[in-house]
Amino acid sequence: MAREIIHTENAPAAIGPYSQAVKVGDMVFVSGCTPLVPESMLVIEGDVTAQARCAFQNFEAICVGAGGTIDSAVKIGLFLTDLNDFAAVNAVMAEFFKKPYPTRTTVEVSALPRGVKVEVDGILHLD
């Protein structure tokens, strides 16, 4: 099955040897989205809530760039540098998703690129 590389200018460019997303059939695999401002490639200023909101906005932009919506997500991965931020990030996620929610894994990690506090990746199913 052929794969299609997904790229949108509405989300930060990849900061390493990877693609924003790859589409295979009706599935899209979205790379980790961090709270970088697409135009400047700088980390958004603010607390974990601001960072989570920016990361989800970037994730949503890639979903749209792939031909779907954020509601196309069937699996989300959340990476937090502090699990004490769990409730704040949950509140932000609830701003972006409606029921039925995608599945999700949340893990605490020791560090993320550029010192950010949150990263979001996911898998989409396009109808």
For position 27, what pLDDT does the model report?
98
Q: Does the structure show a pLDDT above 90 at 71?
A: yes
Dump pLDDT digits (tens) for 82-122.
Answer: 999 999 999 999 999 999 999 999 999 999 999 999 999 99
- How do residues 28-46 score in pLDDT, each as one tens digit? 999 999 999 999 999 999 9
Identify whether the C-beta of residue 20 lies closer than 8 Å to the C-beta of residue 28. no
pLDDT band at 127 (very low <50, low <70, confident <90, very high): confident
Q: Which domains are assigned to the chain?
A: 3-125 (3.30.1330.40)
pTM over 0.95? The answer is yes
The pLDDT value given to residue 1 = 79
Confidence band (pLDDT; 50, 70, 90) for 18? very high
Tell me what pLDDT residue 85 has.
98
